Homo-oligomer: A and B are copies of this chain.
Amino acid sequence: MTATVPALDAGITTMTYRDALREAMRDALRADERVFLMGEDVGRYGGCFAVSKGLLDEFGPERIRDTPLSESGFVGAGIGAAIGGMRPIVEIMTVNFSLLALDQIMNNAATLLHMSGGQCNVPLVIRMTTGAGRQLAAQHSHSLEGWYAHIPGLKILAPATVDDARGMLQPALDDPDPVLIFEHGSLYGMDGELTDSWSSCSISGAAVRRAGTDVTLVTYGGTLPKTLDAAGVLADEGVSAEVIDLRSLRPLDDRTILESVARTHRVVIVDEGWRSGSLSAEVSARIMEQAFWELDAPVTRVCSAEVPMPYAQHLEQAALPQVDRIVDAARDVLKGDG
């Protein structure tokens, strides 16, 4: 179920990740009147990160609905509205504030279908910004998508390209169950090519963003650009690194990972989450379980330091995964035959 990598001959337009997200919402709002966007400052303010800018004028305050600061209340309202037949897109300003709505997400959105014996599915989409890197300090820099990927009943997406930012929303809305979309704050301004393939976007598979034969670099979201840069640096050293973008954090696409391991026999996982208990641990454990005998070296991880994110730029950058650390890790697994 590997998602196809854009065909090179596909028609090309360039836009930012932010604009791609907005266009996706515009299409969905035009196509289905059950769809509406609800969240803090999505309307008159134009969206905390300007993602929904302009939508209020086109769709009005009913469908581009500003909410009070009541994360648990309006996320739960999105759940109820979904059960009531709507197709809500709930925006939580950032993952940091999603903790206030976690009870609703875990105990209602993810649970109602099973608890009701299959009667109450929740066709809800929740979008939120995640990640660090902009000196927003300890309360505004979390990467908790790995936590959400632990919850049965949810599907977790992490668009890392303009195509995925443009394409993932519609299949997420078409899904009968709750889908959470994590947008890394450092990607909004990223310019990228929009290929024709976005419209056939799959939300169930990982993507090989760069083919390689010597080592597999597994990542997702905000660390994809850094990982691709690292692959470039390695290429200059004659090392052929394959880069896998998980895209879907739940379910995880084991097959794409295992096929790559069968090619390279060496793996580095890059994850902006705090190392202990991050998604990278699950990926490592699955490779252990399903490809142990394929490995020529232990799987290693490049994650964030286990510290509340400091404000000072040099400390924050030191805490986050960086190109050089990814390159070093790859070099180590390459000489890691012990």
Interface residues of A (CB under 8 A from B): 72, 96-97, 99-100, 102-103, 106-107, 110-111, 114-115, 137-139, 142, 146-147, 149-153, 250, 252, 273-274, 276-282, 284-285, 287-289, 292-293, 295, 297-301, 306-308, 310, 338
Note all chain B residues with C-beta closer than 8 A to A100. 72, 103
Contacting pair A149 B277 (CB below 8 A): yes
Contacting pair B152 A306 (CB below 8 A): yes
Kindly provide the distance from the CB of A267 to the nearest chain B CB, expressed in whole angstroms.
10
Most chain B CB within 10 A, of A72, A142, A146, A276, is at A276
Contacting pair A107 B96 (CB below 8 A): yes
Contacting pair B276 A250 (CB below 8 A): yes
**Within the assembled complex, what's the spacing in Å between the Cα atoms of A5 and B100?**
41
Contacting pair B338 A293 (CB below 8 A): yes
Q: A111-B138, A115-B139, A147-B150 are in contact. Are A289 and B301 (CB under 8 A)?
A: yes
6 shortest A-B CB distances, which residue pairs? A150-B277, A292-B298, A284-B285, A281-B285, A281-B281, A99-B103
Note all chain B residues with C-beta closer than 8 A to A137. 115
Note all chain B residues with C-beta closer than 8 A to A146. 150, 277
Contacting pair B298 A289 (CB below 8 A): yes
Write the chain B residue with the least CB distance to A279: B277
Write the chain B residue with the least CB distance to A149: B277
Note all chain B residues with C-beta closer than 8 A to A300. 289
Note all chain B residues with C-beta closer than 8 A to A106. 99, 142
Contacting pair B150 A138 (CB below 8 A): no
Note all chain B residues with C-beta closer than 8 A to A282. 276-277, 281
Cross-interface CB contact of A152 among B152, B292, B307, B338, cutoff 8 Å: B307
Write the chain B residue with the least CB distance to A150: B277
Q: A285-B280, A288-B288, A298-B289 are in contact. Are A308 and B147 (CB under 8 A)?
A: no
**Within the assembled complex, what's the spacing in Å between the Cα atoms of A289 and B151?**
26
Kindly provide the distance from the CB of A20 to the nearest chain B CB, expressed in whole angstroms.
28
Contacting pair B149 A114 (CB below 8 A): no
Note all chain B residues with C-beta closer than 8 A to A114. 138, 307-308, 310
Note all chain B residues with C-beta closer than 8 A to A150. 146-147, 273-274, 276-278
**Within the assembled complex, what's the spacing in Å between the Cα atoms of A149 and B150?**
14
